[in-house]
């Protein structure tokens, strides 16, 4: 596997944000995407994305083979929830690896949960998704969504060698469609794709991010 740039890399935080002001929109409104409810929250924050990200997902779906659809699982994540997720996983790693330094804990945690200050989900820029067949049944992509590196023995990495041929082909189909639509993948998580955030800007060679952290309110 090629070198992976983690979310905790200083190069990511160094990317400036030139906020576009684009709205967060509910991806369910026009029914163009299949939406899974496993990450549903009381405020339905999870089904929101920036308008530009949603349009790119819709475009990506048209590039999939006949009988295959995107299955949306989670988009926007409030900054407070992102912090909770990060601290919970960092605490787990700290308990399992008491000899690790705080820097090692922070870096390792960022393989699976983005540091709160640069998290693409909190900008409405990232989406966790997978593939489904025409009847909405989830396809095999090698691990369950949100499997961490420890649980999956690294199979959650996008280009992991320890997955079946079927899962590899499905990952390639998902990746080809989303890349063609302008999104970038976080390579420690095959399901995580984004557009317009700091990580996207770094990987895509852009000088600034389009979207920064945002609160979900009635003006969105």
Structure tokens belonging to residue 137 = 């049944």
Which residues of the chain are modeled with pLDDT < 50? 1, 218
pTM: 0.87
Nearest residue to 41 via CA among 133, 121, 149:
121
Per-residue pLDDT at 1:
44
Q: Which residues make Cβ contacts (< 8 Å) with residue 107, sequence separation at least 6?
A: 6, 8
Structure tokens belonging to residue 77 = 């994540």
For residue range 39-72, what is the model confidence (pLDDT) as tens digits? 998 889 999 999 999 999 999 999 999 999 999 9
How many residues are present in the chain? 220
């Amino acid at each position: 596997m090629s070198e992976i740039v983690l979310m905790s890399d200083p190069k990511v935080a160094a990317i400036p944000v030139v906020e576009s002001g684009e709205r967060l929109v509910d991806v369910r409104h026009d029914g163009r995407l299949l939406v899974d409810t496993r990450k549903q929250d009381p405020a339905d924050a999870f089904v929101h994305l920036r308008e530009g990200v949603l349009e790119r997902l819709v475009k990506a779906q048209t590039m999939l083979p006949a009988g295959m659809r995107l299955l949306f699982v989670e988009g926007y994540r409030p900054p407070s929830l992102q912090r909770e997720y990060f601290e919970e996983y960092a605490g787990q790693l700290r308990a399992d690896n008491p000899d690790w330094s705080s820097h090692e804990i922070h870096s390792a945690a960022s393989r699976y949960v983005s540091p709160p200050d640069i998290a693409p989900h909190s900008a409405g820029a990232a989406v966790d998704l997978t593939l489904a067949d025409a009847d909405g049944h989830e396809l095999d992509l090698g691990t369950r969504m949100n499997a961490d590196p420890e649980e999956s023995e690294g199979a959650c990495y996008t280009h992991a060698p320890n997955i079946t041929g079927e899962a590899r082909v499905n990952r390639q189909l998902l990746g080809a469609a989303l890349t063609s639509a302008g999104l970038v993948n976080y390579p420690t998580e095959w399901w995580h794709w984004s557009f317009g955030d700091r990580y996207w800007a770094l990987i895509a060679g852009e000088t600034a991010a389009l979207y920064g952290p945002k609160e979900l309110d009635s003006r969105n």
